[in-house]
Structure 1
């Protein structure tokens, strides 16, 4: 019935039924930039279809439902048998099904696979971020498994499948596709995985195969415990010189159809990421596992998985920022105050433009990293250069981009005012999700220290990083000055660890600035260099200096295909 007291006016319509891919020029242009015209056209068609689904009212409703109805742990069935299963709302499965069908667990089967998959992950993560965790790990497990060719031959086709086949009723060998999880951290160690105490004992005797072990211990954070298989770290032959921290593959269901000993103690009650099941698990000494890679080389083995998931952290944060900017610009383009649309108000335009710069810089950097991954898989000088570039650029980007999501999500929420603070809005979910990627796969300090290690141990990485930045030399005097400042900081090693964060932040900004100067419209690159590199920028969003083309920047950010 119509309201009896007033007429509802001046409210923005929901941001639905739009193409998430085509409405994002920074994304669409970036994909085309790094591909041949033929492959770019093929990718555009795929990503447009995914973008339309991502922007649909139905998909947005799935995201809402998956978070309103979080997973539930069932340790036992009605008869008292231990089952350790996690129940999900049907909306979760719809999200997972679309992600897997779209190839978001498969970057390995065709040219430009990393770039295509990264762009798709960016698009689909804007629907709902929680289910992106098992999607990311299933994709990222493949390079680690390739350290053990026999296991890779068995599991890579399952993990790269475009069929979502959920459930623990059958062994993975009888399914059309599989999902992977990961367990590294323990209570006493956290990021210091070498402090892990979980023990791996080799199986001996009749019927024991090579590389088979049993595990005894725990994992304080085990992601996606409903997955078919996990990569975990444990101490092989503890106390013996030939042992040490090693990587193991742990299936949930054994080849004969029986359940592996995989005890889910509880699900974590998290700030955000509510739709995803993060858990504490225990291995009881009968948990069957296969070693992946050499004994004592666990970190070196699983680091390939960590690197791939770190790229997804960058991409996921860039996607979150893009969705926050899309919501803010959409709302202000429909909401009026003081006689004008909010988007026309000079101060609001400054806020929106500032956030749009942050978003586009993150997106452009994520796509450059993905293109480097594709190149690095090949042979020759460019492949070697991109491998070296990633060694330094990836932790640098992981540090900076994931940290920018939190203030941007908060500022975007404020653009919607009270309408953004209520749970019917998507903004609270974005804000709660925003700190996650800076924690996952290594906090800010871990990333900063990783950059220092790369600088000390891999001089070729610094050369590749500086070569990338140098491609924009002479195009903007503020970028050139900031690059010189980075040189100065690198030359002064006194107290370098204490000021590592400051160094890594500056490196990230210079890298983003060099990419925008080369590839973004002049209005975008000029504003980025003037604020982030020129020093005329405040602590809050909305402090861009005068004289910039803010209208063009905001128009570019509007989610209108």
Structure 2
């Protein structure tokens, strides 16, 4: 028996190249990159060794906290399996998932690789490390930038990073944080607790926030860099415990105690809220890419399973009801991918902006709040349907499809739940006037659409009306309706972007997908009767015809 055989009996997509079979992703990525990006080697790895390893870690080999060394010294370290070490080293060093931005390339390459990785536990470890390198590279003094090569895999010894901002009493309300910083001997000494500290025990260096002096509230926070070891080579923080989680089990998430922990300030004093918000934008786009990637894995499992499972004398995929479910999933997913990589394109174009930031950055930030929310909701919906299409076995933890729905449920929560995204979206509209640039951009996009123009114009009107309605409301009323408006805006833009991609590339499947998206998720109506004929050209995402120009 071949050692590769067992897992192939559990998964319908094990051993497939997850990049090569995903034609819509290839086209959307090429459209926003402006060139073809060959991710086939990573796609092969994502479809076999990485796929099996991440599932095995989830079920069998989770990280363990080790508090003491054999010599009786406090180490507060994490023991991860050799398989997980190998996966992280391969993704960081061989595939260079964190390198593109730091090597002068488009940061979109980083997110495209993250989409293929998808597993939110492994991707979280990589995201936190990438975020840490980003903040150090952009805002830290030169002597701290020595960390960056290790964090992006350019040195013999790979480093891992972390971002520890959340405290138990405040959650996303950073102004409620209580960690304090005192200066002395050219250093800062931090004291406080961080409640959700992912990569704790793994990270060689972490970003965190603290007050100092008489500063209070969000505008009084400063950003600090905390090494794992202090200048005497001793442990610089303590790991109280690891969290017990329903998913994302490959990333250790714990509670960190800072007790006069040595730290270095990053950037200007009192400006942490700007740096943290920017760093969260980096990771919210990671969250969106991961949400899409998770949904894609689940869709692929359902697509290939329904193509081989027979009921009532024919394949599941030949039943009209199953076709409609797959169409719902694929249309929603393609819109989410388009919205994600449009937002990443905007971020790549505004990446050099610094506080107080320019209009391009504020527009990007507005889009990021919307895309984070839309993709998270879409991921939960697609993975739930993929589970259902497997019937009873979709609920069994012995098969991988069940895990994808569990994993998807973290994406609406990480980096700020939907109510936080809605509040931040309102701030970007009301105070930064970021909607002006958004509407202008989508008006220009509309001018390039020649086919399915009426649908695109209707979606634009829906987008504009949602913004106008919010602007006409008082503060409390706007907050009450913000989540719904955010959903309408996101779906409207996704439909427009799909139609635009189809018009510009000549691939009519995207035009059809955009039109179907608009009807199903903007108008919230059932498909017209001719949709079943269009469905077969859209749901078969692995066929060469999905790349044809019509």
The verdict on a shared fold, with TM-score over 0.5 as the criterion, is yes
> Matches of 1:242 and 1:409 in 2, distance apart?
37
Residue in structure 1 matching 2:32, options 25, 31, 34: 34
**Cross-structure match for 1:176:** 157
**Alignment of 1:441 onto 2:434:** no
> Matches of 2:191 and 2:106 in 1, distance apart?
38
- Structure 1 pair 214/490, CA: closer, same or farther in 2 (3 Å)? same
**Cross-structure match for 1:4:** none
Aligned residue runs from structure 1 range 43-62, under 5 A: 43-44=37-38, 47-56=39-48, 58-62=49-53
What SS does the aligned partner of 1:283 have? strand
Q: Which moved more, 1:385-394 or 1:76-85?
A: 385-394
Contact 1:326 1:558 in 2 (8 A): no
Aligned residue runs from structure 1 range 151-300, under 5 A: 151-162=143-154, 176-203=157-184, 208-209=185-186, 212-225=187-200, 226-238=202-214, 244-254=220-230, 258-285=233-260, 287-300=261-274
Contact 2:121 2:249 in 1 (8 A): yes
**Alignment of 1:467 onto 2:458:** no
Higher helix fraction: Structure 1 or Structure 2? 2
Residue in structure 2 matching 1:324, options 298, 303, 326: 298
**Alignment of 1:147 onto 2:139:** yes
**What's the offset of the Cα at 1:477?**
2.2
TM-score by length of 2: 0.88
Residue in structure 2 matching 1:106, options 82, 96, 99: 99
Task: Point out 4+ residue stretches in structure 1 off by more than 4 angstroms.
Answer: 238-243, 383-386, 557-561
What SS does the aligned partner of 1:472 have? helix
Contact 2:74 2:235 in 1 (8 A): no
Cα deviation code 1:287-321 (max 9, x no counterpart)? 10001122222111222211100100111101011
> Matches of 1:195 and 1:12 in 2, distance apart?
47
- Structure 1 pair 412/262, CA: closer, same or farther in 2 (3 Å)? same
**What's the offset of the Cα at 1:34?**
2.6
> Matches of 1:497 and 1:216 in 2, distance apart?
35
Count of residue correspondences: 514
What SS does the aligned partner of 2:411 have? helix
Contact 1:243 1:295 in 2 (8 A): no
Contact 1:445 1:501 in 2 (8 A): yes
Contact 1:35 1:112 in 2 (8 A): no
**What's the offset of the Cα at 1:48?**
0.8
> Matches of 2:217 and 2:457 in 1, distance apart?
51
**Alignment of 1:458 onto 2:432:** yes
- Structure 1 pair 293/275, CA: closer, same or farther in 2 (3 Å)? same
TM-score by length of 1: 0.86
> Matches of 1:199 and 1:523 in 2, distance apart?
55
Contact 2:336 2:378 in 1 (8 A): no
Q: Any stretches of 5+ residues in structure 1 without a counterpart?
A: 2-10, 164-174, 538-543
> Matches of 2:365 and 2:141 in 1, distance apart?
24
**Cross-structure match for 2:321:** 347
Q: Which moved more, 1:275-284 or 1:482-491?
A: 482-491
